[in-house]
């Protein structure tokens, strides 16, 4: 009997106008989205390759030791799921003069739009009259008059309704997947397809949740016209209002001091204040040397410290070198002076860095707290939970930033010791090698972007996925309770 009700439910949905409209829309939007986003992905990939080549070419010409750090910037390739999900648009938020603000005004359209807006709306349109419609037509009374338990009817309605609802979704996904698999520009490996399958599973959890919500509302309403309005009211709240409001509410519940002000403070600490402190420590060194070395110090001072402290003319620099070569005592003083001045600046750098790190750490703690409040608040909405699951699972969400930073850090652990070794080798080979000399680093380790392991991604998304499942259970139980007491007359 269960299968008979399921197939009846499926058939009646499939023959309905909403099914045809939903199917046509889903297929058109999915195919248009995938085609346009794939082209966008190809452009991004070309841009990424160009950036890497630019960097390589530049390093082969201008890699002077002191500035290599500024030239080694890890470039992030476009995410492999870009043909489906854009996630966080980067172009608008890079803090550059040339930020592209268009995505702020018109958020990009992707697979998430199809699931969160189109499919959730379609799910509610399929279920809002599942009970009320049948009551109004009088068929519910006929069905109940048979020996079928109400629980079975509800379950069959849920299974049949969700199955018919998933037909347009799966068909549109298949069209998208086919386009991706035949496009030579997109090379998805096994893990990408596994993520894609999980994404479909998460989407099904989300879509069934909205079907159940519609079903629940239907079991608590007498008329379809009331039921649809309540459904749309809830839909607007859960999809359009709560996720967008919560970050702003959290920013007011937990305030972070002006980011610009903190940035300036840090900059001041590491720049002006560091210089003042460095000069102060250096002057102490000067005072100490004046009492320790007396006459030869005065001579050294008259030679403008050979360029080791303050400004110095090329003549005095040369004269200092000659004097040091001729007099071992003078040379010992110059070496000790260089050492102590270096130590003074290292100390100043360390002190200021510690102060700056404390401020930055304090800011990061506050930011993390605000983020946590916002994320917890948005979890009231299934839409936000689904967005977290979908974007984090496909490496296009909030976690992808942290993961990239971690990868970049790991690369740094490989690159900096390599650079140190290279500098030491160069100094051994050429004694005149200094901070502005060219260093050949063509054999350097290259930054390679590796996808985060699927297990780690799953660990991160499971709590949000769990909330989606919980929503499903709550709505089903509520629908069940409502239907048990439903007056079918």
User: Is residue 45 at the binding interface for another protein, with CB under 8 A as the rule?
Assistant: no
We find the least distance from the C-beta atom of residue 309 to another protein, in angstroms, to be 21
- Asked whether position 241 contacts another protein by CB under 8 A, the answer is yes
Closest contact distance (angstroms) between CB of 332 and another protein is: 30
Dist CA 231 CA 216 (whole Å): 9
Q: Considering only residues 314-373, where is the footprint of another protein by CB under 8 A? A: 363, 367, 370-371
Using CB under 8 A, pick the residue from 146, 261, 431, 485 that binds another protein. 261
In the bound state with another protein, the residue whose beta carbon lies nearer, of 90 and 150, is 90
d(CA 110, CA 89): 12
Binds another protein by CB under 8 A, chosen from 8, 91, 312, 359? 91
Give a three-class secondary structure readout of 255-288: CCCCHHHHHHHHHHHHCHHHHHHHHHHHHHHHHH
List the structure tokens of 444: 């350097």
Report the site for another protein in 183-222 (rule: CB under 8 A): none
Site string (50-89) toward another protein, x via CB under 8 A: xx--xx--x---x-x--x--xx-x-x-----------xxx
Instruction: Give the interface segment with another protein, choosing from 152-160, 191-199, 241-249, 273-281 (CB under 8 A).
Output: 241-249
| Main-chain phi, psi angles of 450, to 5 degrees | -110, 140
Cα 110 from Cα 33, distance rounded (Å): 6
Nearer to another protein among residue 26 and residue 341 (C-beta): 26
Residues 87, 400: contact at Cβ < 8 Å?
A: yes
* Shortest distance in whole angstroms from residue 288 CB to another protein: 33
Q: Give the binding range for another protein (CB under 8 A) out of 38-46, 278-286, 321-329, 457-465.
A: 38-46
Please, what is the minimum distance in Å from the beta carbon of residue 195 to another protein? 19
Task: Give the contacts of 179 (CB within 8 A, at least 6 positions apart).
Answer: 31, 34, 35, 38
Exactly one of 164, 205, 208, 230 binds another protein (CB under 8 A); that residue is: 230
Q: Which is nearer to another protein, 131 or 285 (CB)?
A: 131
b/e per residue, 448-470, with b = 16+ CB within 10 A?
A: ebebbeeeebbebbeebbebbee
From the list 21-29, 135-143, 152-160, 279-287, the region that binds another protein by CB under 8 A is 21-29
The answer to whether the beta carbons of residues 72 and 418 sit under 8 Å apart is no
Judged by CB under 8 A, which stretch of 36-44, 179-187, 271-279, 317-325 contacts another protein? Answer: 36-44
Binding marks (x or -) toward another protein, 380..419, rule CB under 8 A?
Answer: ----x--x---x-----xx--x------------------
Report the nearest approach of another protein to the CB of residue 111 (Å).
Answer: 13
Contacts of the segment 155-159: beta carbons below 8 A, 24+ positions apart: 155/2, 156/2, 156/5, 156/6, 156/9, 157/5, 157/9, 157/130, 157/131, 157/215, 158/208, 158/211, 158/212, 158/215, 158/476, 158/479, 159/6, 159/9
CB neighbours (10 Å) of residue 48? 15
d(CA 486, CA 484) in angstroms, rounded, equals 6
**Looking only at residues 114 through 173 of this chain, which bind another protein when binding is defined by CB under 8 A?**
117-118, 121, 125, 129
| Closest CA relative to residue 22, chosen from 119, 116, 113, 110 | 119
Residues from 442 through 461 that contact another protein (CB under 8 A): none
Closer residue to another protein (CB): 246 or 334: 246
């Amino acid at each position: 009997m269960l299968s008979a009700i399921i197939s009846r439910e499926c058939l009646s949905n499939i023959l309905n106008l909403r099914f045809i409209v939903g199917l046509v829309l889903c297929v058109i939007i999915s195919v248009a989205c995938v085609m346009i986003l794939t082209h966008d992905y190809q452009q991004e990939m070309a841009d990424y390759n160009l950036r890497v080549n630019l960097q390589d070419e530049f390093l082969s010409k201008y890699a002077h030791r002191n500035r290599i750090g500024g030239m080694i910037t890890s470039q992030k390739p476009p995410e492999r799921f870009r043909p489906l999900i854009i996630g966080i648009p980067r172009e608008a938020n890079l803090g550059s003069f040339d930020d592209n603000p268009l995505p702020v005004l018109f958020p990009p359209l992707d697979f998430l739009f199809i699931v969160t807006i189109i499919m959730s709306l379609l799910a509610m349109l399929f279920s809002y009259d599942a009970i009320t419609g049948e009551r109004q037509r009088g068929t519910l009374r006929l069905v109940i008059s048979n020996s079928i338990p109400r629980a079975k009817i509800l379950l069959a309605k849920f299974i049949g309704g969700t199955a018919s609802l998933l037909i347009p979704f799966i068909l549109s996904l298949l069209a998208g997947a086919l386009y991706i698999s035949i496009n030579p520009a997109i090379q998805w490996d096994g893990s990408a397809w596994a993520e894609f399958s999980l994404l479909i599973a998460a989407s099904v959890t989300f879509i069934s949740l909205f079907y159940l919500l519609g079903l629940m509302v239907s079991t608590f309403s007498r008329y379809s016209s009331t039921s649809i309005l309540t459904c749309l009211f809830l839909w607007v709240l859960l999809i359009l209002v709560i996720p967008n409001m919560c970050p702003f509410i959290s920013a007011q519940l937990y305030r972070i001091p002006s980011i610009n002000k903190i940035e300036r403070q840090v900059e001041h600490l590491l720049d002006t204040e560091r210089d003042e402190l460095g000069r102060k420590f250096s002057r102490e060194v000067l005072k100490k040397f004046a009492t320790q070395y007396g006459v030869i110090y005065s001579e050294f001072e008259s030679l403008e410290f050979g360029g080791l402290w303050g400004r110095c003319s090329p003549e005095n620099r040369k004269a200092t070198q000659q004097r040091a070569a001729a007099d071992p005592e003078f040379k010992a003083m110059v070496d000790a002076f260089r050492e102590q001045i270096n130590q003074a600046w290292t100390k100043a750098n360390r002190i200021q860095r510690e102060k700056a790190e404390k401020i930055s750490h304090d800011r990061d703690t506050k930011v993390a707290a605000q983020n946590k409040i916002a994320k917890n608040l948005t979890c009231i909405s299934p839409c936000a939970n689904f967005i977290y699951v979908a974007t984090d699972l496909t490496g296009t969400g909030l976690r992808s930033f942290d993961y990239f930073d971690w990868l970049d850090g790991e690369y740094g652990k490989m690159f900096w010791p390599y650079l140190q070794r290279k500098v030491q080798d160069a100094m051994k080979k050429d004694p005149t090698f200094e901070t502005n000399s060219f260093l050949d680093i063509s054999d350097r380790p290259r930054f390679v972007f590796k996808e985060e392991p699927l297990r780690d991604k799953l660990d991160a998304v499971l709590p949000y996925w769990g909330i989606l499942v919980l929503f499903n259970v709550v709505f089903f139980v509520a629908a069940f309770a409502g239907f048990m007491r439903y007056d079918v007359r």
